Amino acid sequence: MNNQRDILVLMTDQHRADWIGAYGGKHVRTPNLDRLAAEGAIFTQCITTSPICMPARTSFLTGQYPHNFAMWENVSRLQDTSQSCLHILKQAGYRTCHVGKSHLYPHGFGKDLRSEEPYMHALGWDDVLETTGPLSTVTTKSILTDWMEENGILEIFLEDYAKRRKVGNVRALWPSPLPDGMLMDDFIAKTAVNYIERSEKERPLYLFVGLGGPHDPWDAPKAWDKYAPESMPAPLPRDSVPEWLTPPALEYHKKLMSSNLDMTAEQFARMRTLYSARVEHLDYLIGQILSAWRAARGDDSWTIFWSDHGEMLGDKARCGKCVFFDCVVRVPAVIRPPGGTSSPVRYDGLTSLTDLTATLIDIAGCEPGRNVFGKSLAGVFDNAEQPAAPVAVSELFNMTMVFDGRWKMVLNSQDEVLQLFDKRHDATESINLAGHPSTTEVVDNLRHELLKFLLRTSDRQYREVNG
């Protein structure tokens, strides 16, 4: 076998960092993820490059930011497939396999994901066992819908999701009617386990498993729906309107605080119990994958766990993503080295999804490409005090967030400040200081840091050399 270690990447979708025990979520049971964190390094301030699926996933694939690959929302796809880090791994001898949800291109409209296999291969995947996420499964065919049809549950699934659409997915507060062990993520985990068990041992393997939960709707398995509403942490209330907000900041504030005006505290609590049940179910499945991995591939390998973005889950009366509040942009990230650590490592410095990409390339024994903008995090196992990035940046639609570990600022494309939070004194981000006269110097400093970041991440390009 080559010197490279196997690498297993586990990804959940729309998973809040604080809904994991190792991150302080004592209201939810996640023993397998907690064990993974105890045997590796946990990154408490990992910031997504975009609080929406496709740009965040493409960032991990490339080590770049949305402004590099021109994807600021769930549209398009990576135009230059040579930018994928998978090619670096393949050149080093890795076999690459994708199982589960990728969402690296648009789904829906009756598409069959198997028609996109040439694109997935162009990105660098040797083996493709791809599914959609929960909502897109209604309108997109794949190996998942084939399996559901073969097992006589596709119509049950489609009828249930039609009922959920009528009331609105966030208000559809009942568990899945599907039999235990027959949900989408069950299929993804079983597919991953089957692939692991028959994988060739003579070649290093990079396996990416993309699970579909705990993304809405809240269709937790019935057997896991055991959380009491009173055990859930209460959602953050809507924010009041500060008198100093500028017109653009005021307009944005009103937009953010106008969601779900008719939902009750009881509904939000029930939503959280179903989300918790989905998280615990995912943790169980992750345990199954890890057990199969160690049985077939051994313990001398790397494991990376992360999520693309979080979920508001009723905080400030909002659900979903597409905002820059902490519960959406701060994502879980855990790295376990070969054999595990003798004691858990905790790193509180700012990190990004692009750093996970750089780490992936580093632990594979490869040199990063010219356009990988992150920094490997593997060094924290020798020095947990290594310097952090000066800022973390996240991008969505026409907005950019810059965060220096204390101050978080959101700008629109006209360079107008929409949000400004002092997280040292306002951990819940409830007081928007945009327009406050005392923050002029803070805004100037953050703009300066953002400019340096953009210059540092925009001056490179791929070159096809003329002969």
* pLDDT (0 to 100) of residue 386: 86
Quick check: helix, strand or coil at residue 280?
A: helix
Query: What CATH code is carried by the domain that includes residue 111?
Result: 3.40.720.10
* 439, part of any domain: no
* 36, part of any domain: yes
Neighbours of 300 (CB within 10 A): 12
pLDDT tens string, the chain, 467 residues long: the values are 346 899 999 999 999 999 999 999 999 999 999 999 999 999 999 999 999 999 999 999 999 999 999 999 999 999 999 999 999 999 999 999 999 999 999 998 899 999 999 999 999 999 999 999 999 999 999 999 999 999 999 999 999 999 999 999 889 999 999 999 999 999 999 999 999 999 999 999 999 999 999 999 999 999 999 999 999 999 999 999 999 999 999 999 999 999 999 999 999 999 999 999 999 999 999 999 999 999 999 999 999 999 999 999 999 999 999 999 999 999 999 999 999 999 999 999 999 999 999 999 999 999 887 789 999 999 999 988 888 999 999 999 999 999 999 999 999 999 999 999 999 999 999 999 999 999 999 999 999 999 999 999 986 666 666 66
In one-letter notation, the amino acid at residue 432 is N
Cα distance between residue 351 and residue 392, in whole Å = 7
Q: Do 256 and 316 contact (CB within 8 A), yes or no?
A: yes
Measured in whole angstroms, the distance separating CA 115 from the mean position of its chain's CA atoms is 25
* 429, part of any domain: no
* 246, part of any domain: no
Cα distance between residue 118 and residue 208, in whole Å = 18
- pTM for the model stands at 0.96
* 275, part of any domain: yes
Cα distance between residue 99 and residue 83, in whole Å = 21
Through-space distance between the first and last CA atoms of the chain, rounded to whole angstroms: 37
CA-atom Rg of the chain in angstroms: 22
For 284, the domain range is 6-240+261-389
* 398, part of any domain: no
* 407, part of any domain: no
* pLDDT (0 to 100) of residue 2: 42
* pLDDT (0 to 100) of residue 460: 62
Cα distance between residue 206 and residue 419, in whole Å = 40
Q: At what angle do helices 265-297 and 31-38 cross, to 10 degrees?
A: 60
Query: What's the half-sphere exposure (Cβ side, CA atoms, 13 Å) at 222?
Result: 6
Measured in whole angstroms, the distance separating CA 29 from the mean position of its chain's CA atoms is 19
Domain count, the chain: 1
* 277, part of any domain: yes
The backbone torsions φ and ψ at residue 395, rounded to the nearest 5 degrees and listed phi first, read -135, 140
* pLDDT (0 to 100) of residue 1: 32
